[in-house]
């Protein structure tokens, strides 16, 4: 029986298969109008029958695209009286500080689809104004009858402290509009901050029908082709979930593709004993970077999709528009820019010969000779240097540059964009990139990695085998994972550690019960993270706890952990002797590891160390070794590039 991972990207769809016959890989063009079709194209290209698969793991951009393209369900949002404009007001920060035409990201639903509910719960969970279902029923019935909504999102004030009003309102909605999809905030996120919680709840309700329909189509077609194995889907937190559970928790599928790549990089680099890494995933549309410490990627609950906040644990991945399809252009000031607009999968870069005419980063690399002219890519695409030059000539004429000089400038600008993204996940978070190894993957990651490393004064780059399909491998490498978090303020005084241990055990036992309900059993791994701050501060810093140390945990150890995290970020110790410290929220993750997965290493690529300049052709990517660098293959099949 076979274990298969298929990841659908913006330009290509990748497949990795592990089984008795060894490793099989496939790469086919994505089909943006019908994404699931590319998954079955990949199976055919690899010669794999659905009935032969025992374990099928999948990741796609379906949820993310629904948000970015505003193609989700039409929703009604029910909020506490006085909070109708919570999504419109948002926060006062600006994503583009110096843009005089800046506008806040548009919410996923208009103001007329928001209805106020007469009720009020205080932050301690007590009811200031009770909810009267009988008197509110005529108002709700008229609102839903007029709207034609495909789903209802419910986000009442402070429901994380007591969800009773949300539960009663959900029951009323079910009576008034039987069969409508209902999403309650206390089932999505139990942390405070109304705007972020409302945004996350709405996004969950928005993508739920899209993801549910998508997975339903895949399940039906798999069944038609004889598949009877286990079907799981990648989450944005770096873990997998069975597809049936994902259909009820679709919002966790956001950014699942980039998350899969990170987990693949962690597993493959770990085979070489490398645990402190920075991943660099450059595909056709974007470049994604993530920092990993001691084999564990950082999680954040402050992610955004389409400029809208998502208050759920997600891998701390930063994305910039520096993919292979990123288009070069000149701004109003006459400066050369690269991205964020992309040629995507259709028509793609000009060198693909599919009708593209815009100059892209991939075209620039063909002109520079780092992607050989005439090279055949997935789907039979042959690199056409003449088409790449034709796409660059108008821009070269506008700037008064030779085509070759313009192409090199485009590459340097793209590298600078990636370097800025790496600094966001490293130096901006108190981490020195020089203490990490850069791990590039995706079709274009190994082409640019050494140049990115030089700009950051990094001296080591580790290129996994099959770098172009590493995200598909990451689907297989990922654990089955569940997370739960809750806002619970605990001031660090006598008895705080015992209160915290009880709260952690409550979350852990709830997650264990959910695992059992999914039919998943085995030796579990747990992680714990706290959100802590000085009493009176507005925002918190994340503090990780060692689960093995929980039985002996006391208030002094909690203060020491907070001080260490504070010093790492702000470069000065926390004054815990003069100011009280509190825990605001806690998060627990439970993981069922995949321990028996082999690496991607196969036939050796290099017989001996290679000194740059050199271009190493892999089956899924090209690796550029600049002057001053040396490449050597290790026993795990990884190429280690080192700089003198």
% the chain with pLDDT above 90? 72
Q: What is the pLDDT of residue 216?
A: 92
Please check whether residue 257 is in contact with residue 59, taking contact to mean a CB–CB distance below 8 angstroms. yes
What is the torsion angle, in degrees rounded to the nearest 10, for the CA atoms of residue 340, residue 343, residue 344 and residue 347? Answer: 170
Please check whether residue 446 is in contact with residue 621, taking contact to mean a CB–CB distance below 8 angstroms. yes
DSSP 115-136: EEES-EE-TTS-EEE---HHHH
Neighbours of 595 (CB within 10 A): 8
pLDDT at 603 over 70: no
3-state secondary structure 212-249: HHHHHHHHHHHHHCCCCCEEEEECCCCCEEEHHHHCCC
Q: What is the pLDDT of residue 249?
A: 85
Q: Say how far apart CA 503 and CA 456 lie, in whole Å.
A: 42
Looking at domain 2-67+210-257, which of 3.40.50.300, 3.30.420.40, 1.20.1250.20, 3.10.50.40 is its CATH number? 3.30.420.40
Q: Say how far apart CA 89 and CA 67 lie, in whole Å.
A: 19
Q: Are strands 480-491 and 581-592 parallel, antiparallel or unpaired?
A: antiparallel
Which two tokens mark 318?
Answer: 């930063």
Q: Which position has the token pair 């599928």?
A: 253
State the pLDDT confidence band at 64, using cuts at 50, 70 and 90: confident
Element at 441 (helix H, strand E)? strand 437-441
What is the torsion angle, in degrees rounded to the nearest 10, for the CA atoms of residue 612, residue 615, residue 616 and residue 618? Answer: 150
Q: Say how far apart CA 217 and CA 3 lie, in whole Å.
A: 21
DSSP 517-529: HTT--S--EEEEE
First to last CA, the chain: 46
Q: What is the pLDDT of residue 389?
A: 97
- Answer whether the bond into residue 294 is a cis peptide, omega within 30°: no
Q: Say how far apart CA 164 and CA 121 lie, in whole Å.
A: 10
pLDDT at 607 over 90: no
* Residues paired with residue 289 on neighbouring β-strands, in sequence order: 280, 318
Mean pLDDT of 581-598: 92
Which two tokens mark 65?
Answer: 């695209």
Q: Which position has the token pair 């485009």?
A: 410
Please check whether residue 38 is in contact with residue 28, taking contact to mean a CB–CB distance below 8 angstroms. yes
State the pLDDT confidence band at 206, using cuts at 50, 70 and 90: very high
Tens-place pLDDT, residues 518-549: 999 999 999 999 999 999 998 899 999 999 99
Where b means 16+ CB within 10 Å and e means fewer, 303-313 reads bebbebbbbbb
Q: Of 164, 268, 150, which Cα lies nearest the Cα of 209?
A: 150
Q: What is the pLDDT of residue 306?
A: 83
Q: Say how far apart CA 469 and CA 25 lie, in whole Å.
A: 8
Average pLDDT, the chain: 92
Please tell us whether the domain made up of 70-206 is placed in CATH 1.20.1050: no
* Residues paired with residue 24 on neighbouring β-strands, in sequence order: 17
Q: What is the pTM of this model?
A: 0.91
Please check whether residue 473 is in contact with residue 265, taking contact to mean a CB–CB distance below 8 angstroms. no
pLDDT at 575 over 80: yes
3 state DSSP class of 9: coil
Element at 339 (helix H, strand E)? strand 336-342
Q: What is the pLDDT of residue 141?
A: 95
The residues spanned by each domain of the chain are: 2-67+210-257, 70-206, 480-592
Q: What is the pLDDT of residue 378?
A: 67
Q: Say how far apart CA 289 and CA 114 lie, in whole Å.
A: 37
Q: Say how far apart CA 569 and CA 565 lie, in whole Å.
A: 6
Tens-place pLDDT, residues 332-348: 889 999 988 888 777 88
Q: Of 529, 607, 5, which Cα lies nearest the Cα of 267?
A: 5
Q: Are strands 287-293 and 296-297 parallel, antiparallel or unpaired?
A: antiparallel
Q: Of 593, 632, 602, which Cα lies nearest the Cα of 620?
A: 602
Give start and end residues of each alpha helix (H) in 95-193: 133-147, 164-176, 185-188
Please check whether residue 392 is in contact with residue 366, taking contact to mean a CB–CB distance below 8 angstroms. no
Tens-place pLDDT, residues 490-504: 999 999 999 999 999
Q: What is the pLDDT of residue 342?
A: 86
CATH number of 480-592: 3.30.1490
Q: What is the pLDDT of residue 400?
A: 95
Of the candidate ranges 356-365, 406-415, 420-429, 477-486, the one whose mean pLDDT is the lowest: 420-429
11 by Cβ neighbours in 10 Å (0-12 / 13-18 / 19+) ranks as buried
Which two tokens mark 367?
Answer: 């002109």
Side-chain half-sphere of 534: how many Cα atoms within 13 Å?
A: 11
Q: What is the pLDDT of residue 132?
A: 97
Q: Which position has the token pair 């995949």?
A: 594
Q: What is the pLDDT of residue 606?
A: 80
Q: Of 481, 429, 455, which Cα lies nearest the Cα of 280?
A: 455
Please check whether residue 359 is in contact with residue 367, taking contact to mean a CB–CB distance below 8 angstroms. no
Tens-place pLDDT, residues 212-222: 999 999 999 99
Q: What is the pLDDT of residue 644?
A: 79
Mean pLDDT of 356-369: 94
% the chain with pLDDT above 70? 99
Of the candidate ranges 59-68, 273-282, 289-298, 631-640, the one whose mean pLDDT is the lowest: 59-68
State the pLDDT confidence band at 379, using cuts at 50, 70 and 90: low
């Amino acid at each position: 029986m076979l274990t298969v991972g298929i990841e659908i990207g913006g330009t290509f769809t990748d497949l990795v298969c592990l089984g008795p016959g060894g490793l099989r890989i496939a790469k086919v063009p994505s089909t943006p109008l019908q994404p699931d079709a590319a998954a079955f194209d990949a199976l055919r290209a690899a010669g794999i029958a659905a009935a032969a698969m025992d374990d099928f793991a999948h990741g796609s951009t379906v949820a993310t695209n629904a948000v970015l393209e505003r193609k989700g369900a039409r929703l009604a949002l029910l909020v506490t009286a006085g909070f109708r404009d919570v999504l419109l007001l948002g926060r006062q920060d600006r994503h583009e500080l110096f843009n005089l035409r800046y506008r806040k990201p548009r919410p996923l639903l208009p103001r007329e689809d928001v209805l106020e509910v007469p009720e009020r719960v205080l932050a301690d969970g007590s009811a200031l104004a009770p909810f009267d279902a009988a008197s509110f029923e005529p108002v709700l019935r008229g609102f839903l009858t007029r709207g034609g909504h495909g789903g209802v999102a419910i986000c009442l004030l402070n429901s994380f402290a007591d969800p009773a009003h949300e539960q009663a309102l959900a029951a009323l909605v079910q009576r008034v509009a039987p069969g409508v999809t209902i999403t309650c905030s206390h089932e999505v996120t139990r942390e405070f901050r109304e705007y972020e919680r409302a945004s996350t709840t709405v996004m969950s309700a928005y993508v739920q029908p899209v993801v549910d329909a998508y997975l339903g189509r895949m399940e039906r077609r798999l069944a038609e082709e004889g598949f009877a194995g286990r079907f799981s889907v990648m989450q944005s937190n770096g873990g997998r979930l069975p597809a049936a559970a994902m259909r009820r928790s679709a919002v966790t599928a956001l950014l699942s593709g980039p998350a899969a790549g990170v987990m693949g990089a962690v597993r493959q680099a770990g085979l070489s004993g490398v645990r402190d890494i920075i991943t660099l995933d450059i595909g056709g549309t974007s470049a994604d970077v993530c920092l990993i410490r001691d084999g564990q990627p950082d999680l954040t609950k402050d992610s955004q999709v389409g400029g809208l906040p998502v208050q759920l644990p997600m891998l701390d991945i930063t994305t910039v528009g520096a993919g292979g399809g990123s288009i070069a252009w000149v701004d109003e000031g006459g400066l050369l820019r690269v991205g964020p607009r992309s040629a995507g999968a259709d028509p793609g870069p000009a060198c693909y010969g599919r009708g593209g005419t815009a100059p892209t980063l991939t075209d620039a690399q063909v002109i520079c000779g780092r992607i050989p002219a005439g090279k055949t890519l997935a789907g039979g695409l042959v690199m056409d240097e003449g088409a790449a030059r034709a796409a660059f000539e108008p821009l070269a004429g506008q700037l008064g540059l030779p085509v070759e000089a313009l192409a090199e400038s485009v590459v340097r600008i793209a590298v600078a964009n990636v370097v800025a993204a790496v600094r966001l996940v490293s130096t901006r978070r108190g981490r020195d990139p020089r203490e990490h190894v850069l791990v590039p993957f995706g079709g274009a990651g190994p082409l640019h990695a050494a140049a990115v490393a030089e700009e950051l004064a990094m001296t080591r780059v580790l290129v996994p085998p099959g770098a172009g399909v590493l995200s598909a491998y990451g689907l297989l490498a990922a654990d089955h994972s569940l997370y739960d978090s809750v806002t619970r303020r605990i001031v660090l005084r006598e008895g705080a550690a015992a209160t915290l241990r009880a709260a952690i055990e409550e979350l852990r036992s709830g997650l264990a019960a959910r695992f059992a309900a999914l039919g998943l059993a085995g030796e579990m791994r747990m992680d714990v993270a706290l959100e802590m701050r000085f009493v009176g501060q507005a925002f918190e810093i994340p503090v990780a706890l060692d689960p093995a140390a929980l039985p002996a945990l006391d208030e002094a150890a909690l203060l020491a952990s907070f001080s260490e995290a504070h010093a790492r970020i702000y470069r000065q110790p926390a004054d815990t002797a003069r100011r009280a410290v509190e825990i605001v929220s806690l998060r627990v993750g439970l993981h069922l590891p995949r321990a028996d997965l082999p690496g991607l290493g196969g036939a050796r690529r290099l017989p001996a160390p290679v000194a740059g300049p050199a271009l190493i052709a892999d089956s899924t990517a090209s690796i550029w070794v600049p002057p001053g660098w040396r490449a050597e293959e290790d026993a795990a099949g990884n190429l280690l590039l080192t700089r003198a």
